[in-house]
Amino acid sequence: MMYMLIFGSLGLLLLIMGVFLLNGKGAFLIAGYNTLAKEEKAKYDEKALCRFVGWLMIFCFVCVMLMGAGMHWDIMWLMYCGIAFLLVATLVAAVYANTGNRFRNKENSDTSPVKRNLLASLIGIGVVFVLGGSVISFGNQEPVVDYTSDNLKIRAMYGLTVDYSEITGISLIEKSMRELGVSMRTNGYGGIGDALKGHFRSERFGDIMLFVRVNSSPTIRIERGDAKDIFISYRNGEATRILYSELEIAVKDLLPSDEIGHTLEKAIEEALYEKRHGYGFAKGDMFASAYHTLKTEEDEERTIVYLVATHGWYIHDNEIEMISGCGAIAGVLSLKRESYLYNLVSYNEYELKQIELSSAEILPADVKEDLLKNIDVYYKIIEEKKTEKAVDYFED
């Protein structure tokens, strides 16, 4: 819909200008002619000049609508036809306007000033439309992922090659990128339609790389340790699922086992975010969570993580300030391990007073004792981590 609104508005403007000029009016819109003195204008056949430019505007209107239709329905050949027709029309019009003594009254033969300006205008219009259309077309093409024995290559605007050794996890998230959250673009393509490509920042994931349709789900997440995570989604959700299956097969046996802890850390961070983001807090510009692991229990199928965490919303006016949040709380995560990935089963949080006073065994005895004994130390650690995240976010 966005494409049709943008190209439709531009096309409507060209159509109105074209009809206006075809009626022999609107000569003030013609570059070069509109700046001439009255006695110079008298040398030209104004109506003929207006009709010529008017028909050109009508043809440009058709080309722009072809481009918009191609973008809207994802028919790239239609988009390319619009660009090609526009380029041809510009060249033909430039040649026509600059051969013979056109647009002149019989008694005057020197029309070179207008012809030169008209030629420059036509070339300028053609270049702007062709370059702009080419960038939009390239930016909206779906990414293509190729595999080799050592790496995968993402072919798209801002594409890159990723060694398998960089990858610490791959997951399929049943949400669109808009639902996951994109805070700002740092160096990327976006703003026209729903395609986002390049470098962006997310409140939830930090600095990331996107090759997505922002409103389409599901979304593939490729985790890369200290490098930026990569997110991919196609307009067709089934195509995204097929790509995810291919990626799983490509990297399944190549992920180094010592990177499992990083994927576990990501799973914990996501659980904290989902639990407390929007939890009745007054919202600011940035949400941050931090935690300290107290104990991890793991068997072949299930992982239990006991931790202490804190959350908060921050703003940055004259200084960085937390406007809402909570103090230290205890958390218990249950995660299912599948191959190299950890998937959340459940996450529960408890106030410290609840743990201290409850007769039920919320935490194992050793974890409870450790938490209550060292809570001041742990809270200082997680509060510093949380504040550091906020500072890094706003400084970047």
Encode pLDDT of 68-100 as tens digits: 787 667 676 777 788 778 778 777 777 776 666
Q: Model-level pTM greater than 0.75? A: no
Asked if pLDDT for residue 106 goes beyond 70, the answer is no
Using CA atoms, how far apart are residues 271 and 292, in angstroms rounded to an integer?
14
How would you label 144-164 residue by residue, b for 16+ Cβ within 10 Å and e otherwise? ebeeeeebbebebbbeeebeb
Would you state the pLDDT for residue 64?
A: 82
Encode pLDDT of 169-193 as tens digits: 888 888 899 888 887 888 888 756 6
Would you state the pLDDT for residue 209?
A: 94
At 362, the amino acid letter reads I
Encode pLDDT of 342-384 as tens digits: 778 888 988 888 888 876 788 898 999 999 999 999 999 999 9
Question: Which pLDDT band, with edges at 50, 70 and 90, does 256 fall under?
Answer: very low
How would you label 83-115 residue by residue, b for 16+ Cβ within 10 Å and e otherwise? bebbbebbeebbeebeeeebbbeeeeeebeebb
Burial status of residue 137 (CB atoms within 10 A of its CB: 0-12, 13-18, 19 or more): middle
Encode pLDDT of 214-247 as tens digits: 889 899 999 887 889 999 999 888 899 888 888 8
Instruction: List, in order of start, the domains of the chain with CATH numbers.
Output: 2-139 (no CATH), 144-255 (no CATH), 259-395 (3.10.450.630)
Would you state the pLDDT for residue 259?
A: 42
Residue 339, phi-psi category: left (phi > 0), alpha (psi -120 to 50), beta (remainder): left
Which is more confidently placed, 69 or 330? 330
